[in-house]
Amino acid sequence: MIISRSNITDQIVQYFKEKIVSGEWKVGEKIPSENQLTETLGVSRASIRTAIQQLVGIGVLESRHGKGTFLLDDEVDEGGAGDGKITAQDCKDTQKVLEFRRIVEPEACYLATENATDELIDQLQKALDEMAGNKENQKAFIAADLRFHELICNASENLLLEKSMSKVFEEAGRDQARTFQLFGFKDGIYYHRLILDAIKKGDAKRARESMFDHLQMGIDKLNSQSREIEIKSQK
């Protein structure tokens, strides 16, 4: 790529995005060093560093001291940074993620119940059975849990809702230990059974209420843990 002398940083950012979108740079992998990029693009290290920081700021790249820069998120587009898209950085705050889910998922549950088919119910039952059968396998439990929620959001038949939740579910799946700690096995199974039972019976209002209660429980636990940490820090 030939970099002109005007808008150098923007051009470097665009170059980075092209590498990401093409799949040449993959999530979790280290990108070329500043020296390599300087040589490839024929620009200063300062310009490279500024471009990297722009993508670090929106959660696409992550700089690790002494190790280099890694691709954290491949969700970029041609519009540039700060375009309002949900990023990995946005999803790092568990409290905010749960609050968002509490707003969106109960309504998704309501719509899914109205649109429910035998196939959906069978898929939800399978996901719930996998959760129940993986008490000792945290990774498998969380995968089945997220699939349960994804099935419901997809069954809402609302593309905006599906797209907004897709990134949130992706990030929730990365922090498996935290998710499992908040919801736990027993409570997780309990609420998912309530939700599925309501969907089976076509009771959209009860399905919505059960999903709200499920997510509210996670928020309450998180707040309780935060208070305990604050109290301990004051002693």
Give the residue among 100, 44, 91, 99 at the shortest CA–CA distance from 72: 91
For position 85, what pLDDT does the model report? 64
The answer to whether residues 191 and 218 touch, using CB atoms and an 8 Å cutoff, is: no
pLDDT of residue 82: 47
Contact between residue 232 and residue 226 where contact means Cβ atoms under 8 Å apart: no
E-strand spans in 11-114?
Answer: 61-64, 68-71
CA distance 199 to 207: 6
Can you read off the two tokens belonging to residue 142? 């969380």
Of residues 41, 75, 32, the one with CA closest to residue 55: 75
- Residues 87 and 90: their CA atoms lie apart, in Å, by 5
pTM of the model: 0.65
- Tracing tokens 């604050």 back to the chain, one arrives at 230
Instruction: Evaluate whether 97 touches 110 at the Cβ level (below 8 Å).
Output: no
The closest alpha carbon to 55, from 24, 15, 8, 102, belongs to 15
Residues of the chain with pLDDT under 50: 78-82
